[in-house]
Amino acid sequence: MSPSDLEHPLLLSLLGTGFATAFLHAALPTHWLPFVLVGRAQRWSLPQVLGAVGAAGLAHISTTAVVGGLIVIAGLALDQWIAGLLPHIAAVLLFLFGAFYLARATLRRPRLAGGPEMDLPEPSVSHAAAFWGLVAMMAVSPGEVLLPIYLSQATEGLLVLAALTLTFAAGTVAGMAAFTLLARAGWSVLRLERWARYESAVLGVALIGIGLLVAFHQH
C-alpha cells in the first residue's frame, strides 16, 4: 500500500476507530490509578507523573505491537494455505471479541464499594524504582483488545500496520494521561470507576464496528 492510500476514507475510519478503542481501553483503572497513587506517594510533580504515563503507555503499545506482529506473521503463513480467507477470519474474530465484551458488560456486576482500600506505596521507594515499576507493569500486559485489529490488516502492508501502531500509541497515551489528570484534578476514583463500567460495552461495539469495516472492505 502506498502512502497516498493512507488518505482512503475506509482506512481513516479504521484508524479513527482504532484511536477511540485505544483511548477507551485506557479507562480501565489499571491504566491510570497506579500513576495517581504512586505519584502521590512519591510526591511527583505533574510533569513527572505524565512522563511516567507516557513511558508506560509506549511500553504497553510496544509489547502489543510485538505480539500483534507475531499474530500477523502467523496469519500470513496461514493465508498461504487458505488464500483469501484471512480477512474473513479476522472479521469473524473481531465480531467474536466484540460479542464477548458486550456479554461481559451485560453479565458482570462491577464492585464499586465495600472492597479493601488500596494502600499507598511507601514513600521510601526510590523515584527510579517507582518509575520503572510502572513501566514494567504496563509492558508485561499487552492490550488484547487491539490484537484482532492487527490481524484484520495483516495483508495491507507494513505502512498500514505502522500507522495502526502509532494510532494505538496516541490513543493509549492520551487516554491514560486524560484519566490520570482527571483523578489528580479532584474527580473521585469512585466516579471514574462508575464510568469505566461501560468500557466493555463500548469496546464491544467498537470491535464489531471494525469487523463490519473489514467485512465491507472485502466486497
Q: Provide the residue ranges of all domains of the chain, joining segments of one domain with +.
A: 8-107+124-217
C-alpha cell at 142: 499487552
What 3-state DSSP class applies to 198?
coil
Average pLDDT score, the chain: 75
Q: What is the pLDDT of residues 159-185, one digit of tens each?
A: 888 999 999 999 999 999 999 998 888
The Cα–Cα gap between 54 and 131 comes to 11
What is the C-alpha to C-alpha distance for residues 169 and 19, in angstroms, rounded to an integer?
Answer: 8
Question: Is it the case that residue 158 has pLDDT exceeding 50?
Answer: yes
Of 80 and 103, the structure prediction assigns the larger pLDDT to 103
Q: Tell me how far CA of residue 210 lies from CA of 35, 58, 143, in angstroms.
A: 31, 23, 16
Angle, alpha carbons 161-147-202 (nearest 5°) = 110
Grid-cell match 502492508, residue found = 157
What's at 61, amino acid-wise?
Answer: I
> Do 105 and 200 contact (CB within 8 A), yes or no?
yes
Summarize the confidence of residues 37-53 as an average pLDDT.
90
Contact between residue 118 and residue 126 where contact means Cβ atoms under 8 Å apart: no
- At 153, the amino acid letter reads Q
Residue 71 pLDDT level (bands cut at 50, 70, 90):
confident
| Residues 76 and 155 sit within 8 Å (Cβ to Cβ) | yes
Let me know how long the chain is.
219
Which residues have C-beta within 8 Å of that of residue 190, sequence separation ≥ 6? 112, 113
For 56-65, what is each residue's pLDDT tens digit?
999 999 999 9
pTM: 0.68
Residue 113 has pLDDT above 70, yes or no: no
Measured distance CA(54)–CA(31) in Å, rounded: 11
The predicted model gives 71-100 an average pLDDT of: 67
